[in-house]
């Protein structure tokens, strides 16, 4: 009886073992219940074949057996082979291509491409359509024309004691402002520019500084010109043997531009590497250069107070240039530093004017020569003429991006203009010849050059 019970029990155990080790062939491993961020792997739901257990650690391949949690965008991008690392600070200063689209600018969402750029640029929405403004100072000087001698010492005729260069322009301060706006998400911008430099210089020589008399070199040119301050006398009698001669000169430069230009630094930097880029420029410019010269004499004292014994010869000229221009902008940049080189060239119509007068408190001087067609006419002449002039500008500077929306700039600028009128060029050899005086001499050149420094803000 005991044996009969043992045999069925052994048979049941054998059948159970056979069922355990006799599963159908197929995938020996069940999918894992892995979830990103979990610290465990779920156990298989069914036993594996004991004799087929791998001796090496099992490698779970996400593309084959793992299911990402819905909504985990970063993990989904990783599964699809996408990778968008957050840009570095150097990338944010000048990415190779704009991550923004025009729609970003329209919606005001400038972080759609790089979500971390907001931490870099703050409120600056680059490079979407934006405004920029620049303010700075100028320190400039100009070259001098061919000198015209005005006064000499009769005790030493070879010594010229006053010439037109003695009151030439010194280094003078000026200012510059610019305002512009980028067009959409492009690197093209429209910009308005205005700058100005003004100078006034005076030089005086007295009879105490000469060994003989203080006379004028223009005495022969004055031979038919008279002045009446209670008695008619030749103008030269006021300049010769004078107690003092005074020369005053002014130089004023005004520049106004409207340009469409391509900013080559907008997307030039590639992960901090040094890069070189070139942009183009086109626009219209108005340039005004005016100067005056006043040559005065006093036969009574050394103070110029407007008394009848003082006489003044004034020449005022102005040049008004307007026309198109083209140019190039080159940049060599590395990180926050940038070296820029710019050039502009234009052809302009120039309206040159001149005003010449000889006067004192008693009125204007006049021609006193019965043989002259201008006999009795006052020396108070004005005229103008038109001509073609050329203007070129060269700009070399260094920029440093101090903040994400503020850049410091400094450099050297030279502006050369041809075909202009200068006050010294209007001095005639014969003050009686009004036809010559009224023909504006406008064949000279002027070069204005110097330093500039300032800052640009972008918003």
Give tens-digit pLDDT for 152-186. Answer: 999 998 888 999 999 999 999 999 999 999 888 77
Q: What is the mean pLDDT of residues 394-423?
A: 96
Q: What is the mean pLDDT of residues 267-296?
A: 84
Measured CA angle at 83 (ends 82, 86), to 5 deg: 150
pLDDT at 416: 98
80 falls in which pLDDT band (50, 70, 90)?
Answer: low
- If one compares 453 and 25, the residue with the highest pLDDT of the two is 453
Does residue 375 surpass a pLDDT of 90? yes
Rounded distance between C-alpha atoms, residue 398 and residue 134, angstroms: 15
pLDDT at 106: 44
Q: What is the pTM of this model?
A: 0.72
**Considering only 43-52, 151-160, 242-251, 332-341, which range has the smallest mean pLDDT?**
43-52
**340: CB partners within 8 A, 6+ apart:** 265, 329, 330, 331, 332, 395, 396, 397, 398, 399, 411
Asked if 137 and 453 touch (Cβ cutoff 8 Å), the reply is yes
Asked if 102 and 186 touch (Cβ cutoff 8 Å), the reply is no
Asked if 436 and 428 touch (Cβ cutoff 8 Å), the reply is yes
Radius of gyration of the chain (CA): 43
133 falls in which pLDDT band (50, 70, 90)?
Answer: very high
pLDDT at 137: 98
- If one compares 53 and 119, the residue with the highest pLDDT of the two is 53
pLDDT at 67: 53
Does residue 44 surpass a pLDDT of 50? no
79 falls in which pLDDT band (50, 70, 90)?
Answer: low
Q: What is the mean pLDDT of residues 354-369?
A: 95
Q: pLDDT tens for residues 299-319? A: 999 999 999 899 999 999 999
pLDDT at 263: 72
49: which DSSP letter?
A: P
126 falls in which pLDDT band (50, 70, 90)?
Answer: very low
* Count of CB atoms situated within 10 Å of the CB of 150: 25
- If one compares 179 and 17, the residue with the highest pLDDT of the two is 179
Q: What is the mean pLDDT of residues 374-378?
A: 95
Asked if 197 and 136 touch (Cβ cutoff 8 Å), the reply is no
Rounded distance between C-alpha atoms, residue 271 and residue 286, angstroms: 40
* Count of CB atoms situated within 10 Å of the CB of 34: 16
pLDDT at 76: 60
Can you say whether the dihedral through the CA atoms of 333, 337, 339, 342 is positive or negative? positive
Does residue 396 surpass a pLDDT of 70? yes
411: which DSSP letter?
A: E
Rounded distance between C-alpha atoms, residue 117 and residue 332, angstroms: 24
> What mean pLDDT is reported for the chain?
80
Q: Please, is 381 exposed, middle or buried when counting C-beta atoms within 10 Å of its C-beta (0-12, 13-18, 19+)? A: middle
271: which DSSP letter?
A: T
Q: Which two tokens stand for residue 432?
A: 């009686």
pLDDT at 82: 57
Does residue 66 surpass a pLDDT of 80? no
């Amino acid at each position: 009886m005991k044996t009969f019970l043992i045999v069925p029990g052994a048979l049941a155990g054998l059948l159970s073992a056979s069922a355990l080790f006799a599963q159908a062939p197929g995938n020996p491993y069940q999918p894992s219940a892995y979830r990103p961020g979990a610290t465990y792997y779920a156990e298989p739901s069914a036993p594996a074949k004991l004799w087929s257990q791998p001796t090496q650690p099992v490698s779970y391949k996400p593309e084959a057996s793992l299911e990402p949690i819905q909504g985990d965008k970063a993990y989904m991008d990783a599964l699809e082979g996408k990778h968008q690392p957050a840009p570095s600070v150097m990338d944010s200063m000048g990415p190779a291509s704009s991550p923004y689209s025009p729609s970003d600018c329209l919606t005001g969402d400038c972080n759609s491409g790089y979500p971390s750029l907001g931490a870099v640029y703050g409120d600056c929405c680059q490079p979407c359509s934006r405004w920029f403004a620049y303010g700075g100072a100028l320190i400039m000087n100009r070259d001098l024309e061919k000198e015209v001698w005005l006064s000499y010492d009769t005790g030493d005729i070879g010594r010229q004691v006053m010439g037109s260069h003695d009151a030439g322009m010194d280094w003078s301060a000026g200012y510059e402002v610019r305002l512009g706006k980028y067009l959409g998400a492009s690197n093209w911008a429209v910009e308005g520019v205005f700058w100005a430099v003004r100078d006034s210089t005076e030089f005086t020589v007295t009879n105490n500084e000469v060994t003989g008399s203080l006379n004028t070199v223009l005495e022969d040119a004055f031979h038919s010109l008279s002045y009446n301050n209670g008695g008619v006398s030749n103008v030269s009698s006021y300049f010769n043997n004078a107690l003092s001669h005074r020369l005053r000169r002014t130089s004023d430069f005004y520049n106004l531009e409207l340009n469409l230009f391509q900013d080559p630094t907008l997307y030039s930097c590639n992960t901090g590497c040094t890069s070189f880029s070139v942009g183009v420029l086109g626009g219209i410019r108005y340039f005004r250069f005016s100067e005056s010269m006043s040559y005065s004499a006093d036969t009574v004292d050394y103070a110029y107070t407007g008394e009848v014994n003082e006489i003044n010869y004034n020449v005022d000229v102005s040049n008004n240039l307007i026309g198109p221009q083209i140019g190039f902008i080159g940049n060599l940049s590395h990180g926050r530093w940038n070296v820029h080189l710019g050039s502009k060239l234009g052809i302009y119509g120039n309206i040159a004017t001149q005003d010449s007068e000889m006067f004192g408190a008693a009125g204007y001087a006049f021609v006193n020569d019965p043989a002259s067609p201008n006999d009795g006419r006052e020396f108070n002449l004005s005229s103008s003429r038109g001509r073609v002039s050329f203007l070129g500008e060269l700009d070399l500077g260094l920029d440093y991006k101090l903040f994400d929306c503020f850049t410091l700039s400094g450099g050297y600028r030279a502006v050369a203009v041809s075909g202009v009128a200068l006050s010294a060029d209007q001095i005639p050899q014969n003050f009686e010849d009004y036809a010559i005086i009224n023909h504006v001499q406008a064949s000279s050149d002027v070069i204005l050059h110097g330093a500039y420094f300032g800052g640009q803000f972008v918003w």
